[in-house]
Structure 1
Amino acid sequence: MRSDVEYSPVGEGLGMRDYWLYVWMRRASVIVAHVTGLGLTLTISLLSRPGTSLFSWHPVCMSAAYCLCMTEGILLFSAEGSPFCFKSRKCKLRLHWLLQALVLIAAATGLGFMVASKNVSELPHLLSWHSVLGVCTLSATLLQAVCGLCVICPKPLRLSSSVPRLKLYHATCGLLVYLLATVTVVSAMFSDWFQASVKGLAWWALLLLPLFPALVVMNQITNAYLPRKKITS
């Protein structure tokens, strides 16, 4: 006798006790990702001492954009450990749009402060890997926002692809943008400013911290959007 059974790799082969342990571990990892994003934003903001110079606002805006707003904008769709798990999906979508709009505003503001600081100091632009990655990240974020508009308004834009496929493209591109943003944040920790502010074990700890939310986000998106297989028996 043949029957089709929907298959999901999450929790496969686990007993009830192991399954609940797995669920709580996933919840704990999402909560730690929330705390890490907020902690990184606060730490970088304190280190930059906003208001002391034009440049001081650049790390504040960029960390708020990518470490906090973008992370929360993705993790709010997580079923485990999200503070918005009790909200409807429609409410989550609105919060997602709001947070991603804040990402663009904060990132553009941070870029403006950096350009102004360079111009005042009469220093050349785009000489470091961090600056090049930052421009690429901001450009990719803008393109991802356009992709999000395509998901929201497929009919007015006369798009031929189906909405589920557009959502898959949007999620995949969003993951790539987030990973690019993570690389950009990590590269900032090799800058002269950051290495002069943080040294020793603290520097290594802050260097590794952005990687944890990236792993959680990657796991969330791949589990939600990877094609499900079917098995026959």
Structure 2
Amino acid sequence: MKTEHASGKEPPGSLTLGFSFLTHLLLVLPILYILVVGFHRPEKLFSWHPICMALGTLIILEAVFSISGEALLTHRLSRPNRITIHWIMLTIGLLLILCGFIIAIVNKNLENKNHFESFHSIWSLITIILAASVALFGVAANNTRWLYPRVRPVLIKVLHALGGIMITILFITAIISGTYRNWLKNQQVGDHELGRQLVFASLFIGGILVLFKPILGAVSRTAVLVKTPQPST
């Protein structure tokens, strides 16, 4: 006999819980590795750049995962509550990333180095700007009545979902590209080459799992969007 939550939903099955646990593990482990390496030399200002960036990215990835109704942590919550958690986590994540970004700029100034010369720095700058834009657009996605009937709510939600998917990919790429900078090697913590490869593999697979449901949802909503409205009778 199946049990139900107070919300009326059936509890997630073992396979769903296992999928959720694996996804969280793949996201958390590489970030923990970056944090351990960063805290190895906390007296260096630049060490706080990857620490803030890694924590901020993890929180943003978890925010994306939470809105899709993942089973392990938020399956008991209603969608409005998941949306609230989503934007709170996104705000915290973006603030941490902004702190990491400022630390990198200050460190460059202290060392009299030029800004935005590497792929990683340029990619990260573009990612932060686009992330802030998508986050602001999320306000409209959560309040579609403001633009209705001039703009169909499904169009706003599809655009926000596609923007979120793009930003998730950009942040994962930014973190991975950061491990290919000299910082990781200079920290002299274990085998940095192996660590880099594990970070890449874990975030790559974890990112696919995080985006699996949002991509399906975006495709489904896009299909609804392109349908020709039936004339009323």
TM class by shorter-chain length? 0.7 to 0.9
TM-score normalised by the chain length of structure 2: 0.80
1:71, 1:163 → 2: CA distance? 25
CA offset at residue 76 of structure 1? 1.2
- Unaligned runs of 5+ residues in structure 1 are 1-22
Which of 119, 122, 130 lines up with 2:120 in the alignment? 130
Question: What is the CA-CA distance between 1:223 and the residue it aligns to?
Answer: 1.8
Structure 2 CA distance for aligned equivalents of residues 207 and 121 of structure 1: 29
Amino acid corresponding to residue 167 of structure 1 in structure 2: K
Q: Does 1:227 align with 2:216?
A: no
Deviation per residue, 1:159-206 (Å, 9 max, x gap):
822222211110111000110111111111110112344434333212
Using a 3 Å threshold, how does the CA distance of structure 1 residues 157 and 107 change in structure 2: closer, same or farther? farther
Give the TM-score normalised by structure 1. 0.80
8 Å contact kept, 1:70–1:100: yes
Counterpart position of 2:200 = 207
Instruction: Please say if residues 180 and 196 of structure 2, whose CA atoms lie closer than 8 Å, have aligned partners that are also in contact.
Output: no
Q: Sequence identity, in percent? A: 20
Distance 1:159 1:200 in 2: 54
CA RMSD of aligned residues (A): 2.2
**Could you tell me how far apart the structure 2 residues matched to 1:165 and 1:191 are?**
40
> In the comparison of the two structures, how many residue pairs are matched?
207
Give 1:217's aligned amino acid.
Answer: V
- Partners of 2:167 and 2:113 lie apart in 1 by 28
Q: Indicate the larger mover: 51-60 or 200-209.
A: 200-209
The DSSP-based 3-state class of the residue aligned with 2:220 is: coil
Counterparts of 1:191-206 in structure 2 under 5 Å?
191-197=181-187, 198-206=191-199
Deviation string 1:192-222 (CA, Å, 9 cap, x unpaired) is: 1123444343332122111022101221112
SS at match of 1:125: coil
Answer 1 or 2: which has greater helix percent. 2
For CA contacts below 8 A with separation 6 or more, give which structure has more relative contact order.
Answer: 1
Amino acid at match of 2:97: A
Mapped contact 1:73–1:95 kept (Cα < 8 A): yes
Q: Match for residue 113 of structure 1?
A: 103
Give 1:55's match in structure 2, choosing from 20, 36, 46: 46
The aligned counterpart of 1:34 is 24
Give the partner amino acid of 2:35.
Answer: S
Aligned-partner Cα distance in 2 for 1:127–1:212: 29
